[in-house]
């Protein structure tokens, strides 16, 4: 990462950092060392008003590393849900603790731009922020600009061209899906499809497919009597070991550990958060 690139991002991309950690000094935002211009908010009730006032190009939610089922975590999820509902075109990056299974699940359900699990290396965090910043054309820094860009003819055309792939994933995520097949379905070459899909969804097709499968896996693991092996096969994995590694990489815990705590915690949290959707 060059100093020139960081300086450009710092000068043109002031974003909102929602710090939900117990101690401000523990926030990952401090590791950015002033390379990026950001505005920090620690009170969940102030998030929506901060977005209205400052019109950031994107928002980062950082949750407590311990991932306990605290009131702060629940309020953070409620705020995240509200932001996604009221500003659906605003990109959101969520950083969750290694045990924050509920946070990770809600991040997937709410279709955030990206999800990171702590610990997060400085270079990785900086690269994700630079990627987010590069999605906003030069001179566009506010929500209105993001909405306008999202509704431009080019984006709408891309959306029409890649929507068959999204529908195909929803219908066939439980089986092998080849990139060449979905590209052909959209009447694009593999290279054209990859580029178009990333422009529309801000993630690669492979990342989108993995997240979709992980979301379905979380839902099934929360069901009574669900077996990890059955869940793995049901969401498109032929290798249980690979499923376990992928799940751990995505959420920071193995499927069985998630299963032990997710059911009751998800039910109690869902009762609170669904009311605000």
Predicted confidence (pLDDT) per residue in 29-48, tens digit: 888 767 788 999 998 888 98
For residue 273, being part of any structural domain is answered with: no
1 within domain boundaries: no
Quick one: 180 and 78 in the same domain? Answer: no
Residues 87 and 177 in one domain: no
- What is the maximum span of the chain, computed from C-alpha positions, in angstroms? 54
Residue 248, classified by CB atoms within 10 Å of its CB into exposed (0-12), middle (13-18) or buried (19+), is middle
Worst-scoring range by mean pLDDT, 10-19, 117-126, 159-168? 10-19
| Spatial separation of the C-alpha atoms in residues 213 and 185, rounded to whole Å | 20
Question: For 112-148, what is each residue's pLDDT tens digit?
Answer: 888 888 888 888 898 888 888 877 655 444 444 444 4
166 and 119 part of one domain:
no
Report, as an integer, the average pLDDT of 14-43: 85
Give the pLDDT band of residue 266 (cuts 50, 70, 90): low
Domain count, the chain: 2
In tens, the pLDDT along 204-213 reads 899 889 988 9
Number of neighbours of residue 25 by Cβ within 10 angstroms: 7
In a domain, 187, yes or no: yes
Model pLDDT, residue 105 = 80
What CATH number did the domain enclosing 201 receive? 1.10.10.60
Domain that holds residue 23: 15-136+150-156
Residue 106: is its pLDDT beyond 90? Answer: no
Looking at the structure, tell me whether residues 26 and 85 fall in a common domain. Answer: yes
* Boundary (domain end) residue, out of 127, 156, 185: 156
| Percentage with pLDDT > 90 across the chain | 27
Q: Is the Cβ–Cβ distance between 114 and 203 less than 8 Å?
A: yes
CB atoms within 10 A of CB 19: 22
Would 81 be classed as within a structural domain? yes
Same domain membership, residue 95 and residue 166: no
Confidence of residue 270 (pLDDT cuts 50, 70, 90): low
| 71/267: higher pLDDT | 71
pLDDT at 229: 94
Instruction: Answer left, alpha or beta for residue 63, where phi above 0 means left and psi between -120 and 50 means alpha.
Output: beta
CATH number at residue 42: 3.40.50.2300
Instruction: Looking at the structure, tell me whether residues 132 and 170 fall in a common domain.
Output: no
Mean pLDDT of the chain, nearest integer: 79
Q: Is the per-residue pLDDT at 244 higher than 60? A: yes
State the pLDDT at residue 10: 44
What is the per-residue pLDDT across 62-79, written as a single tens digit (0 to 9) for each? 998 765 556 778 888 889
Residues 110 and 54 grouped into a single domain: yes
Which residue from 175, 268, 259 is spatially nearest to 217, judged by alpha carbons? 259
Between residues 88 and 8, the one the model is more confident about: 88
- Residue 11 is predicted with a pLDDT of 47
Q: Are residues 76 and 117 in the same domain?
A: yes
Please give the average per-residue pLDDT across 236-255, as a whole number: 90
Residue 84 lies in a domain: yes
Do 220 and 115 share a structural domain? no
Closest by Cα among 55, 97, 58 to 76: 97
Domain boundary pick from 108, 123, 156: 156
Is residue 77 in a domain?
A: yes
Identify the domain boundary among 126, 156, 186. Answer: 156
**pLDDT above 70: residue 2:** no
Do 87 and 24 reside in the same domain of the chain?
A: yes
Do 77 and 178 share a domain, yes or no? no
**pLDDT value of position 75:** 84
Q: What is the rounded CA–CA span in Å between residue 147 and residue 99?
A: 34
Task: For residue 5, tell me if it sits in a domain.
Answer: no
| Each residue's pLDDT tens digit, 174-202 | 999 999 999 999 999 999 999 998 888 77
Residue 8 pLDDT: 45
- Residue at 3 is within a domain: no
């Amino acid at each position: 990462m060059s100093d020139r690139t960081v300086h450009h991002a710092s000068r043109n991309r002031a974003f909102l950092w929602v710090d939900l950690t117990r101690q401000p000094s523990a926030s990952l935002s401090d590791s950015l060392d002033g390379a990026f211009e950001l505005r920090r908010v620690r009170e969940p009730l102030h998030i929506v008003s901060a977005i209205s006032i400052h019109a950031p190009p994107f928002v980062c939610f950082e949750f407590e590393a311990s991932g306990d089922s605290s009131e702060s975590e629940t309020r953070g999820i409620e705020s995240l849900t509200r932001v996604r509902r009221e500003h659906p075109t605003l990109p959101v990056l969520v950083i969750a603790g290694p045990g924050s299974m509920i946070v990770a699940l809600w991040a997937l359900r709410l279709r955030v731009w990206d999800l990171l699990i702590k610990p997060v290396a400085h270079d990785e965090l900086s690269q994700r922020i630079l990627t987010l910043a590069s999605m906003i054309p030069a001179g566009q820094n506010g929500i209105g600009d993001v909405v306008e860009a999202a509704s431009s003819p080019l984006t709408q055309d891309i959306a029409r061209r890649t929507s068959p792939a999204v529908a195909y994933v929803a219908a066939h995520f439980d089986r092998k899906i080849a990139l060449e097949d979905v590209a052909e379905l959209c009447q694009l070459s593999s290279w054209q499809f990859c580029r178009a899909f990333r422009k529309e969804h801000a993630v690669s097709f492979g990342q989108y497919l993995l997240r979709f499968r992980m979301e379905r896996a979380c839902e099934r693991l929360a069901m009574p009597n669900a077996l990890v092996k059955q869940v793995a096969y049901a969401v498109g994995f032929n290798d249980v070991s690979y499923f376990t590694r992928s799940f751990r990489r995505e959420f920071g815990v193995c499927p069985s550990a998630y299963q032990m705590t997710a059911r009751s915690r998800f039910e109690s949290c869902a009762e609170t958060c669904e009311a605000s959707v």
